[in-house]
Amino acid sequence: MADGGVHIGGNASVQGDVVGRDKITTTTTTTTTGLDAAALAELLKAFKDIDRKIEALPENPDVDKAELHDTVKKVEEEVKKGEEANPTKVERWLKFLGEMAPDILQVTAATLANPAMGLSVAIKKIADKARGQATA
């Protein structure tokens, strides 16, 4: 038999790896930048509470509840990205909430600023800024 070859006579069944020598393996490491499971569960619960508060708002021809829900959902989806969240988008959506429903902005911003949520520092700062502007 020549060097480097494998000879199997008769019937053979092989499962798994067959290596003569010099097997090279690699390990893949995946890094996630989103929220951990506990923070995500807490965040989802908080956003459900915000949705209930939107539904509890009195009827107002100048306030579209569907638009509020959509905006809050955009904020939620963005901040779930953790460190990858785009603070500029979140800030724009919070400003919109402040114009349409300042009380909903307050609740949303308080949620985002809560250290227990595990959100990025940039998102927390934007939330604090939005809360301050809404009360000014």
Q: So what's the pLDDT on residue 93?
A: 96
Record the pTM. 0.71
Report d(CA 131, CA 64) in Å as an integer.
21
3-state secondary structure 10-26: CCCCCCCCCCCCCCCCC
- Residues 6-64 have pLDDT tens digits of 556 666 665 666 666 666 666 654 444 567 788 888 888 999 999 999 999 999 999 99
Please give the mean pLDDT across all residues of the chain: 82
Domain boundaries of the chain, sorted by first residue: 37-135
